[in-house]
Amino acid sequence: MNIIETNNLTKTYGDFTAVNEISLHIQKGHVYGFLGPNGAGKSTTMKLFLGLTQPTGGSFQIDGKTYPKDRVPILKTIGSFIEAPAFYGNLTGEENLDIIRKILGLPRQSVTDALELVGLTQFKKRLAKRYSLGMKQRLGLAGALLGRPPILILDEPTNGLDPVGIHEIRSLIRSLPQQFNCTVLVSSHLLSEMELMADDIGILNHGQLLFEGTMEQLRQTAKANGFPTDNLEDTFLAMIDDDNRKRGQIR
């Protein structure tokens, strides 16, 4: 069953198309890895899901609800982290999470849980603006995980984390579907991590969807097209390179 489905979703800025008629199918209980070079449109797609920006064309459904009619009900089911951590610098880590908790109407305990989950318990009384880069990132993740929402949208969650942190977050994301029947849409440039984490993969280039399917399907497609299949990184590089070359010819 698809919990997130898009239908020719498009976003243009002026005459530039950031997201070009993409149709994604994200299955419930899966970890969906979203790949693509810088500027491919990954963050823009995620922002569209969260109603942070208005689509220019196409539509999408999340958990059976359509945007923009059900914007608030959709947001109730999503925990998200987009690009950079968003927080109140004048509040402590704990106070930041408490604001989110109150809006979501969760019990007090959930803040303690989320802090523990991302390893910030020790620093919960420190002002968020005094956090280190990785600590801010962890705070953003805690905000997304608060209350264990059924859908998680994580944009480069491991950006700026130390190797231990990256490992922890990967294990956490990996365990979420089994533990809480959670669906995760995650983007990252760490392809080795993605390979260990994702069930399904979507590859974007210049706003267009190059591939969507399981890891196994990706290998088969790559083999059929004569791309290397040893690891995700080589396959990805060859695929993007090939697509860019084709685009060059069209122009």
Partner 1 sequence: MILLLEIKKLKRTGCLPAFLGGAVLAAAFPLLNMLVRSETFTALPGEPFRILTDANWQMMAMLNILTIICGACMIYHTEYANNGAQKMAVLPVRTYQIFWGKFAVTVLALAGMLLFEIAALELCAMHWFPDYHLQLTALAKNLCFSLIAALPTIILMMLIASVCQNMWISLGIGVILVFTVSVFPKENLFLSLCPFNSPYQTLALAAQNGSEWIFTLICAAETIIFGIAAFIFDNVRRYFL
Ligand X SMILES: Nc1ncnc2c1ncn2[C@@H]1O[C@H](COP(=O)(O)OP(=O)(O)OP(=O)(O)O)[C@@H](O)[C@H]1O
Binding site for ligand X (CB under 6 A): 13, 16, 18, 36, 38-44
Kindly tell me which of 50 and 190 has the beta carbon lying closer to partner 1.
50
Phi/psi at 3 (5° precision): -90, -30
Among the residue ranges 81-89, 186-194, 213-221, 227-235, the one whose residues contact partner 1 (CB under 8 A): 81-89
Cα separation, 116 vs 248, in Å, equals: 49
Report, in Å, the least distance between residue 128 CB and partner 1: 7
In this structure, are strands 200-205 and 208-214 parallel, antiparallel, or unpaired? Answer: antiparallel
State which of residues 4, 19, 22, 100 lies at the interface with partner 1 (CB under 8 A): 100
Kindly tell me which of 159 and 205 has the beta carbon lying closer to partner 1.
159
* Site for Mg ion, residues 144 to 173, rule: CB under 5 A: none
Q: Which does 39 bind (CB under 5 to 8 A by kind): partner 1, ligand X, Mg ion, none?
A: ligand X
The two three-digit tokens of residue 107, written as one number: 């019990």
State which of residues 85, 157, 165, 202 lies at the interface with partner 1 (CB under 8 A): 85
Report, in Å, the least distance between residue 82 CB and Mg ion: 8
The two three-digit tokens of residue 187, written as one number: 């983007």
- Are 191 and 204 in contact by the 8 Å Cβ rule? The answer is no
Cα separation, 8 vs 21, in Å, equals: 4
Contacts of 186 (CB under 8 A, 6+ apart): 31, 32, 33, 34, 152, 154, 155, 157, 173, 194, 197, 198
The two three-digit tokens of residue 156, written as one number: 């480069």
Report, in Å, the least distance between residue 187 CB and Mg ion: 7
State which of residues 20, 43, 80, 96 lies at the interface with Mg ion (CB under 5 A): 43
Site membership for partner 1, residue 33 (CB under 8 A): no
Neighbour tally for 241: CB within 10 Å: 12
